[in-house]
Chains A and B, each alone.
Chain A
Amino acid sequence: MDTFLLLGQGFLVAFELQNLLYALIGVTLGTAVGVLPGIGPALTVALLLPVTYKLDPAGSLIMFAGIYYGGMYGGSTTSILLNTPGESASIVTALEGNKMARKGRGGPALATSAIGSFVAGLIATMGLALIAPTIVRFALSFGPAEYFALMVLAFMTVSAAFGDSTLRGLTALFIGLTLGLVGIDLQTGQARLAFGIPDLLDGIEVTTLAVAMFAVGETLSVAASKRSADEKIEPVKGSVWMSREDWSRSWKPWLRGTAIGFPIGAMPAGGAEIGTFLSYSVEKQLARKPEEFGNGAIEGVAGPEAANNASAAGTLVPLLTLGLPTTATAAIMLAGFQQFGLQPGPLLFANNPQLVWGLIASLLVANLMLLVLNLPLIGLWVRLLSIPKPWLYAGILVFATLGTVGANPSSFELGMLLAFGLLGYLLRRFGYPIAPVVVGLILGPLAEQQLRRALAISQGDPTVLVHSPIAIVLLLLAAAAVIVPLILRARGKGKVLAQLAADED
């Protein structure tokens, strides 16, 4: 009960008029910077954190929370409307969200993303309050072998997004894995596939690849194709708001996305992207109309967006219970709170309950503020798509390069953007799916590190990979993800599946 009392006190402070104003400023600033592709929430917070230094602790905390959530929300908006993922955790959102936007359903896509994020944030924060110690124990039971099994599961389930050709899906994945090799190897520090170029030593930036593949590649292929250049985009078809059907198709994915994203976010080596991948695959498997996946299924937006947000709350679990900042964002949060004398460590909850609960209340208020502000604006946002194509795509490229330059003002990075853009165009022309390339780049290095750690700990004994119940369950799920579609296909449902897995760019 004590926890709720403290949370209540936090809310009382957060709802003061002045503090609501700070929240408003925070979410506006956060959205403005976070909307740039390549600039995610962590960077947004780092950029804008100094703004909060001048305020009193409560106001500063609230503005910080606003900036943080604004930064996250901005990324999803560009994913949906412009097919330009603002950060790696909203790549999956672009798959279905942009298809919806092109069909005039950008309004419902933005709405389900905003409401789903709010619902997930709310539930995950409650989870943080009530079951953080349990979740953290679960998260710590993940060793290299379990992480590896989780990566295998993610690999296998995203193969559902491979499209109708196994060959082209696998090829796209392995192109991504190849790109993931580039750079210094973490375990031994040796440079691989860097060809002596210092810019390549730190590997290929995920957002650069994603922006290039999605935004630049698409611009090129639309421009080069007579058919799609003449095609008209209708910004609004039907209602801007979510229909009854949209609601009934969204609420379960919100809950499932939360259930997937929260624990994965709490894992020290989890990461928000994995939660969004898994949520997308789960929704595709469970959808009542699986044939809509790849053509704008609302479940494919609702689930991953909820997972993304829940995982952000999940990273607070190790931070607040163990003092472990497991992501860049968590580390920046810590820096933000240290100005109030908050010391990280296992005793944080016990020693500084007011600040911790004040933070949690602020996050909820910021989340709510974002919802209240953005829902009325959705109608305005989707009008962006009524801009004639030449100007729209010219704008998208300006915007995509603005994010890249803003994150790293180097010509080399722009060169990579161009090269990967051409690669994305080429892959599209030959019917290759785009998402597996990005998935390979994200998951490949993670899987490799965890496998090598697991085998080193076991002194080379591969049975360590199936030693724990968690690892076994995850691997069985991975096997099921491969085998079940095969059985379905053998039963002559291949057509449905091929359609279900239609190209998702």
Chain B
Amino acid sequence: MRKLLFALAGVVAMSAAQASATDYKIMAPAAPGGGWDQTARAMQTVLQDEKISNSVQVTNVPGAGGAIGIAQFVNTAKGDPSQLMISGFVMVGALLTNNSPVTLDQVTPIARLTGEYEALVVPANSDIKDMAGLVEKLKADPGSVSWGGGSAGGTDHITAGLIAKAVGVDPTKVNYIAFSGGGEALAAILGGQVTAGISGYGEFESQIKAGQLRLIGISSDERLEGIDAPTFKESGVDVAIQNWRMVAAAPGLSDEQKAAVGADVEKMAQSDAWKKILADKGWADTYLAGDAFAAQLKQDIDSTTAILKEIGLVK
């Protein structure tokens, strides 16, 4: 059904392109409930409420860290300025580990929107109380700690590998279980199916606040306001990582079309409604657009390739 939803994006987009340029279809290349999905829906809300666009539809195309979504996006959205896709750091790694025939070079990057830090959680009834407890278990038997998170080779997976490496455990021994979206991973963590969960803080926030999950560490450089947990560094694990999310447009757009989309996104990113949503969700505003973003993206792709090779995910 999710694939159908995607298909819908293509269908509606064509009509939209004919009817009005201010209708957008945003594809979240992940299952409902995850970070990209939330970003897409936040954009939907703001674009509509701020009257930047008449109608915005969000579609989900889950699978393989976004590789399925981007492949479909590149295939069907080409030249259509009304279609947008959410992407992010996770996709950079996923496309590399997957040897994906489609890469981020094939879409038109518009802007980086948000950044989010990785949160490490355990179920509330777990006997692991803090980072030290997890590290101890990990050192004793790396395989006995199963990490539930997003798709293989994504930020979550990379963070797990970096933590292992930082405490002197072979990163290739990390027992990482990939789920297709935040909702499914969260269910597995809540149900105690995996030892620990690793994902963006926003995906766990309401469960942490409800006392169903225990937050044992966060991947920021310094403690964050309103989040009651030590950073990895404070706990003696020298890892800091930020998971950024971006919005991209279809390939094959003219410069005017690019500029128009960019202007709409900029208007959205500067609205108070957008800033309020970022604050609510605990996402840092890391808006960056244009050539500066293109350069940053290229640098991120290069550094991710290096990290993935180091932890043995890409040969």
Judge A-B direct contact (beta carbons within 8 Å): yes
B197 within 8 A of A: no
Contact of B97 among A139, A189, A207, A332 (CB under 8 A): A189
A408 on interface, CB distance cutoff 8 Å: yes
CB distance from A348 to the nearest CB of B (A): 9
A345 within 8 A of B: yes
Q: Do residues B33 and A324 form an inter-chain contact, with CB atoms below 8 A?
A: yes
Min C-beta distance of A271 to chain B, whole Å:
9
Bound CA–CA A176/B89 (angstroms): 35
Report B-chain residues with C-beta under 8 Å of the C-beta of A339. 45
Say if the beta carbon of A293 comes within 8 Å of chain B.
no
CB proximity to B under 8 Å, residues A305-336:
318, 322-332, 334-335
Contact with A along B153-172 (1 / 0, CB 8 A): 10000000000000000000
Please name all residues of chain A whose beta carbon is closer than 8 Å to the beta carbon of B74 when the two chains form the complex: 198
Query: Which single residue of chain A is at the shortest CB-CB distance from B74?
Result: A198
Question: Contact: A143 with B193, CB < 8 Å?
Answer: yes
Closest to B66 in A: A189
List residues 63-104 of chain B with CB under 8 A from any CB of chain A. Answer: 63-65, 67-68, 71-72, 74-76, 94, 97-102
- In the complex, chain B residues 94-125 whose Cβ is within 8 Å of any chain A Cβ: 94, 97-102
B64 touches A189 (CB 8 A): yes
A39, A203, A347: the one contacting B4 at CB < 8 Å is A39
Binds A, one of B206-214, B217-225, B244-252, B261-269: B206-214
Q: Is A376 an interface residue (CB 8 A)?
A: no
CB distance B3 to A326 under 8 Å?
no
Please state if A201 and B71 are interface contacts (CB–CB under 8 Å).
Answer: yes
Q: Which residues of A contact B99 (CB under 8 A)?
A: 190
Using Cβ atoms and an 8 Å threshold, which residues of chain A touch B5? 42-43, 46, 328, 332
Given the complex, which residues of B lie within 8 Å of A329, measured CB to CB?
1
Asked whether any CB of chain A lies closer than 8 Å to the CB of B226, the reply is no
In the assembly, what is the distance between CA of A187 and CA of B188, in Å?
15
Whether the Cβ atoms of B11 and A407 lie closer than 8 Å is yes
Closest to A408 in B: B7
* A43 and B61 alpha carbons, distance in the complex (Å): 13
Interface check A457, CB cutoff 8 A? yes
- A324: chain B residues at CB < 8 Å are 33, 183, 186-187
Binds A, one of B173-181, B233-241, B295-303: B173-181
Whether B98 contacts A328 by the Cβ 8 Å rule is: no
Smallest Cβ distance from A427 to chain B, in angstroms? 24
Query: Does the CB pair A326–B183 fall under 8 Å?
Result: yes
Flag the segment in B126-134, B143-151, B286-294, B304-312 that touches A: B143-151
- Produce 1/0 per residue, B1-38, CB < 8 A to A: 11111111011101000000000000000001100010
Distance A268 CA – B188 CA, assembled complex (angstroms): 9
A184-B63, A189-B153, A347-B210 are contacts. A335–B1 as well, Cβ < 8 Å?
no
> C-beta contact mask, B187-198 vs A, less than 8 Å → 1, else 0?
110111110000
A409 touches B10 (CB 8 A): yes
Query: Known contacts A189-B97, A198-B71: does B187 contact A46 (CB below 8 Å)?
Result: no
Provided the pairs A202-B68, A331-B60, A456-B146 are in contact, do residues A188 and B187 lie with their beta carbons within 8 angstroms?
no
Query: With A186-B151, A189-B151 as given contacts, are A327 and B207 in contact (CB-CB < 8 Å)?
Result: no
Q: Judging by beta carbons under 8 Å apart, are A202 and B71 in contact?
A: yes
Question: Which of chain B's residues have a CB closer than 8 A to the CB of A330?
Answer: 32
> If the complex has contacts A141-B191, A268-B183, are A457 and B175 also in contact, measured as CB distance less than 8 A?
yes
Q: Is B178 a contact partner of A335 (Cβ separation < 8 A)?
A: no
- The listed residue (A47, A184, A459) touching B175 by CB distance below 8 A is A459
Q: Does A384 contact B (CB under 8 A)?
A: no
**B98: which of A188, A325, A345, A406 is its contact (CB, 8 Å)?**
A188
Q: Known interface pairs A268-B187, A406-B11, A459-B143. Does A325 touch B101 (Cβ–Cβ under 8 Å)? A: no
Distance from B81 Cβ to chain A, minimum over Cβ atoms (Å): 18
Indicate if the CB atoms of A186 and B180 lie closer than 8 Å.
yes
A207 B4 Cβ-Cβ under 8 A: yes
A205 near B206 (CB under 8 angstroms)? Answer: no
B57 within 8 A of A: yes
Bound CA span A191–B75, Å: 16
In contact, B177 and A453 (Cβ under 8 angstroms): yes
* CB-based nearest B residue for A345: B206
Distance of A442 from chain B, by nearest CB (Å): 11
**Is B199 in the interface zone, CB < 8 Å from A?**
no
A114-143 vs B, CB cutoff 8 Å, 1 = contact: the mask equals 000000000000000000000000011111
Q: How far apart are the CA atoms of A410 and B77 in the complex, in Å?
A: 12
Interface size class of B (residues with CB under 8 A): 35 or more
List, in ascending order, chain A residues with CB within 8 A of B138's CB.
Answer: none
Q: Would you call A87 an interface residue if the criterion is a C-beta within 8 Å of the partner chain's C-beta atoms? A: yes
* A407 to B7 Cα, complex, angstroms: 6
Q: Which B residues lie within 8 Å of A410 (CB)?
A: 10, 76
Chain A residue with the shortest CB-CB distance to B41: A335
Q: Would you call A395 an interface residue if the criterion is a C-beta within 8 Å of the partner chain's C-beta atoms?
A: no
Chain B residues in 8 Å Cβ range of A199:
75
A336-355 interface with B by 8 A CB criterion: 338-339, 343-347
Residues of A within 8 A of B8 (CB): 43, 46-47, 407
Residues of A within 8 A of B285 (CB): none
Complex CA–CA separation, A327 to B183 (angstroms): 9
Q: Which residues of A contact B188 (CB under 8 A)?
A: 143-144, 268
In the complex, which residues of chain B have a beta carbon less than 8 angstroms from the beta carbon of A296? none
Most B CB within 10 A of own CB, among A142, A144, A190, A328: A328
Q: Contact flags (1/0) for A389-412 with B, using CB distance below 8 Å?
A: 000000000000000001111100
Complex formed: what's the CA distance from A214 to B14 in Å? 30
Q: Is the CB of A326 within 8 A of B210?
A: no
Query: Measured between alpha carbons, how far is A87 from B3 in the docked complex, in Å?
Result: 12
Q: Provided the pairs A46-B8, A207-B4 are in contact, do residues A184 and B68 lie with their beta carbons within 8 angstroms?
A: yes
Q: How far is the CA of A331 from the CA of B67 in the complex (A)?
A: 21
Q: How far is the CA of A318 from the CA of B194 in the complex (A)?
A: 19
Shortest beta-carbon distance, A470 to chain B, in Å?
Answer: 12
A142 to B6, CA, bound (A): 29
Which of B10, B178, B210 has most chain A Cβ within 10 Å? B178
CB neighbours (8 Å) of B178 from chain A are 186-187
* In the assembled complex, B39 has its CB within 8 A of some CB on chain A: no
Residue in contact with A198 in the complex, picked from B3, B32, B63, B101, CB distance below 8 Å: B101
- Any chain A CB within 8 A of the CB of B231? no
Say whether A19 faces chain B, with CB atoms less than 8 Å apart: no
**Which chain A residue has the least Cβ–Cβ distance from B211?**
A346
Tell me which residues from 22 to 58 in chain A have a Cβ below 8 Å from any Cβ of chain B: 38-40, 42-43, 46-47, 49-50
Q: Which residues in A have their C-beta under 8 angstroms from that of B180?
A: 186
Complex formed: what's the CA distance from A408 to B76 in Å? 10
A185 on interface, CB distance cutoff 8 Å: yes
| A469 in the interface (beta carbon within 8 A) | no
Among A50, A344, A457, contact of B146 (Cβ-Cβ < 8 Å):
A457
Instruction: Answer whether A269 and B210 are a contact pair too, CB < 8 Å, given A40-B1, A47-B8, A88-B1.
Output: no
Show the binding face of A for B, using Cβ within 8 Å: 38-40, 42-43, 46-47, 49-50, 87-88, 139-144, 183-191, 196, 198-199, 201-203, 205, 207, 268-269, 318, 322-332, 334-335, 338-339, 343-347, 406-410, 453, 456-457, 459
Offer 10 A-B interface pairs, CB within 8 angstroms, sorted by A: A42-B1, A42-B2, A46-B59, A186-B63, A198-B71, A334-B41, A344-B33, A345-B206, A347-B206, A459-B143
Those 4 A-B pairs whose CB atoms lie nearest each other, nearest first: A331-B32, A189-B98, A345-B206, A408-B7
**Could you list 12 further interchain pairs (A-B, Cβ under 8 angstroms) beyond the known A43-B5, A43-B8, A407-B11?**
A42-B2, A141-B191, A142-B191, A144-B188, A183-B68, A189-B67, A189-B153, A202-B71, A322-B186, A324-B183, A327-B32, A408-B11
